[in-house]
Amino acid sequence: MCPRHKRLHPLGVPCALCATATPGGSSRGRRKHPSKNTRTPGRYDYQWQKVRAEAIRLQLYCSFCGTTIDLTGDHILPLKDGGTNTLDNVRVLCRQCNTRRENDYRKGKRY
């Protein structure tokens, strides 16, 4: 069954309306809504990917909690506030700390 259109089709065969081959009818493993950051032209481009990978290579732990799992790069000064995609404006955070920092930043707490 196609989860989107609620129509039956054989397992492994794509839905005729949305062309999703989802065994068992689940869309597990795929994101429903891709990240906005990956589609923003000029902001998170190849240069950012290189700088982020270099920062993670140099520091193999989260700057806030110290974990070594699921590391990401984080702009100290966000691009929308005049920050740049350079190594001195990037710190390494785990995904959980990065999300928490982003939420706090939006509420007005800046750290």
Residues 52, 84: one domain? yes
List, for residues 71-105, the tens digit of each pLDDT value: 999 998 888 888 899 999 999 999 999 888 877 77
Residue ranges making up the domain that contains 3: 1-32
Residues 72, 91: one domain? yes
The domain that holds 84 is classified in CATH as 1.10.30.50
The model's pTM is 0.57
List, for residues 11-62, the tens digit of each pLDDT value: 666 677 665 444 444 444 455 555 555 555 556 788 889 999 999 999 999 9
Mean pLDDT (the chain) is: 76
What token pair was written down for 4?
A: 């989107």
List, for residues 3-21, the tens digit of each pLDDT value: 666 667 666 666 776 654 4
The sign of the dihedral angle between the CA atoms of 107, 50, 41, 80 is positive
